[in-house]
Chains A and B, each alone.
Chain A
């Protein structure tokens, strides 16, 4: 079947032009298979990751909310207890008793088991320090608070807790102040902010997180774990927006804020989402590598499968195209055969008449008195020439009719090798004259086959004649016979010039000849093709790898024979 490509190059071209179609189909299938396999994989991976992040966020939100509530309560409780303790003393003792530094000292010691209070002072209605106990007596002895805001505040509402400030002491602290029930004097304590800070320090907010308190101006009331001295403007705006417990998820951080100390202060708990999810990201990275590996495997399998499948499809299509071309070629040859037969038949009648008229002329001329004929010597040869040309033309028409005629021959058991030998014997003399040797490599194990030996011999003869003509002088024709599978094969290889691609394409068409004008009719191989079709075999032509032309005739081997 492959040989046919050489016989009909057009079909090979057609197949080649479809290659880009198969390449495109391969690409499409590979892409589709990959998409179908990988997209769900990626989607699942994305969904799992997304689900994990969201559930972590939900869990962390709950935790942070509860933590914020808890810390707010503790700190509020702490502040209240300081305030209440101080208020209790203010109710219990009067101004004159507290004015005695020794008494104040006693009170300070009683209050300050835990080192919560730094100092304690008694301030008179006019804002002057009446009495003081603590480490800063020298600095505060003559201090008057009448003009300060907290003094006005505490005189107005009876209780006051300040923001954290550094003051002249150079240490961050805040004060708790209460008045006596008649609001005529003030008892004031400075709270150790270290101890206060410790209440927040134990808050668990994860790596990169923070826990601090800000006042209404957004100023830090407790130190930031991340060492922030002040907050950026956007963070202040965000954190000061709500008093009630609020969760914000922004800028990669999860915030829990809640107002405390009667909403003067805001407690801020802040978790760094990215840093907290670091373990998850590591796990996800590992998963992604596994998915990537699986994806590569899928791609490789898809490519291998699609290519092997498409190559099979392409092969089948190729065979189909070749078969189709072969059928078309057969049909074309049959049509040409019928046309040739019809033309030959029509020409035979006029040829008959021309021949008859020439013969009639010849007869009549022979009766004439030679002396009366002026061109006597010319008539006779002219008639002979007419009859010779009629004979020549009729030879062609007879061969053409032979090309189309249906099987007349008788089939008999034929020894192919013997047939080859006999055919060669017809030509040996002519071959010898042209110094052409005819080699035989005949397979002695060939079975006898039932075929029309006369017609088959005509095929062999036509091929050999062509070979001799193609070589001209000095050369070799090698004939080999072999049995391959269900076929018997006879090959004729000459070492002539071979055939051009165009000639290979047309070699079996009638009237195609490479011989000089007038030396060949171009019918021999067309008849041979026709005969082989009828005998159920094939005839193919190709050029040999080392030059020359090779004709291969195949015949079906008889059943039951090797």
Chain B
């Protein structure tokens, strides 16, 4: 399977389910998980080109998940989603291999643009 799917990683179930439905509606393959552990398993199973990663997860720290993803599949385009209005967390993520970052709350259109950009850059 070509790695074209999008993995949404966030502990807010409402956010994950709505986003996945909206992405699918646009014909984008996508899946959602609520914990860092599930996310790592999914990435390990393969098939995800882009991951949208919330920095606050119940079981793991977002940056830890990012490092794991980069280890398992460095090709994955990770977009960091943070509740902090601070750029520092996102910039640190980029240094650790993330593709880009967004600050919550984010407009759906903006999110789509970033995801699109990530997919296009995908090898």
* Interface-side segment among B35-43, B81-89, B93-101: B81-89
Question: Is there contact, CB below 8 Å, between B108 and A345?
Answer: no
Residues of A within 8 A of B21 (CB): 360
User: Using Cβ atoms and an 8 Å threshold, which residues of chain B touch A352?
Assistant: 12, 15, 104-106
Residues of A67-91 at the interface with B, using a CB-CB cut-off of 8 Å, are none
In chain B between 1 and 44, which residues have their CB closer than 8 angstroms to a CB of chain A?
Answer: 12, 14-15, 18-19, 21-22, 25
With A408-B87, A408-B88 in contact, is A349–B104 under 8 Å at CB? yes
Residue of B nearest to A346 (CB): B83
Query: A353-B18, A356-B19, A406-B88 given as contacts; is B103 within 8 A of A345 (CB)?
Result: no
Q: Is the CB of B83 within 8 A of A345?
A: yes
- Please, which residues of chain B bring their CB within 8 A of the CB of A344? 85
- B86 and A355 contacting across the interface, CB-CB below 8 Å: no
Report the minimum CB–CB distance from B88 to chain A (whole Å).
5
> In this complex, what residue of A is CB-closest to B107?
A355
Quote the shortest CB–CB distance from B111 to chain A (angstroms). 9
A390 touches B88 (CB 8 A): no
Given contacts A406-B86, A406-B88, A408-B86, contact A349 B15 (CB under 8 A): yes
**A-B pair number, CB within 8 angstroms:** 64
Q: Which residues of A contact B25 (CB under 8 A)?
A: 363
**Residues of chain B within 8 A of A355, CB atoms compared:** 105, 107-108
User: Is A359 within 8 A of B85, CB to CB?
Assistant: no
- Please, which residue of chain A has its CB at the minimum distance from the CB of B85? A401
Tell me if B104 and A351 are in contact (CB < 8 A).
yes
CB distance from B18 to the nearest CB of A (A): 5
B83, B86, B107: the one within 8 Å of A348 (CB): B83
Partner of A359, one of B22, B86, B88: B22
* A348 in contact with B104 given A356-B18, A359-B22, A360-B22 (CB within 8 Å): yes
Determine which of B22, B83, B104, B105 lies in contact with A363 in the assembled complex, contact meaning CB atoms within 8 Å. B22
Inter-subunit contact B12/A349 (CB<8 Å)? yes
A286, CB-defined interface residue at 8 Å: no
Q: What residue of chain B has the Cβ atom nearest to residue A400's Cβ?
A: B85
**Nearest-neighbor residue (CB-CB) of B12 within chain A:** A349
Given the contacts A359-B22, A360-B22, A363-B22, A398 and B85 also touching, CB distance less than 8 Å = yes
Main secondary structure of the interface of A (DSSP, over half): helix
Return A196 CB to nearest CB of chain B, in Å: 127
* Contacts A360-B22, A394-B105 given; does A353 touch B14 at CB 8 Å: yes
In the assembled complex, A357 has its CB within 8 A of some CB on chain B: yes
With contacts A353-B14, A353-B15, A360-B18 known, is A405 near B104, CB below 8 A? no
Chain A residues lying within 8 Å of B86, measured Cβ to Cβ, are: 401-402, 405-406, 408
- Please state if A357 and B18 are interface contacts (CB–CB under 8 Å): yes
Say which residue of B18, B19, B84, B107 sits within 8 Å of A401 (CB atoms): B84
Measured CA separation A344–B109 after assembly (Å): 23
B-side contacts of A349, CB under 8 Å: 12, 15, 83, 104
Q: Does A397 contact B (CB under 8 A)?
A: yes
Q: Write the nearest CB–CB distance from B109 to chain A, whole angstroms.
A: 8
| Docked complex Cα distance between A399 and B85 (Å) | 8
In the complex, chain A residues whose CB is within 8 Å of the CB of B18: 353, 356-357, 360
Q: Which residues of B contact A353 (CB under 8 A)?
A: 12, 14-15, 18
A-chain residues with CB within 8 Å of residue B87 when the two chains form the complex: 408
- Write the residues of chain A forming the contact surface with B, with a CB cutoff of 8 angstroms: 341, 344-346, 348-349, 351-353, 355-357, 359-360, 363, 390, 394, 397-402, 405-406, 408
Q: Ordered nearest first, which 10 A-B pairs have the shortest CB separation?
A: A401-B85, A352-B105, A405-B86, A351-B105, A348-B104, A398-B85, A345-B83, A359-B108, A348-B83, A394-B105
23 A-B contact pairs sorted by A residue (CB < 8 Å) = A341-B84, A348-B83, A348-B105, A349-B15, A349-B83, A352-B12, A352-B104, A352-B105, A352-B106, A353-B12, A356-B108, A359-B108, A360-B18, A360-B21, A390-B105, A394-B104, A394-B105, A402-B86, A405-B84, A405-B85, A405-B86, A405-B88, A408-B87
A349-B12, A405-B88 known; 11 other A-B pairs, CB under 8 Å? A341-B84, A346-B83, A348-B104, A351-B105, A352-B106, A355-B107, A356-B14, A359-B108, A363-B25, A394-B104, A398-B103
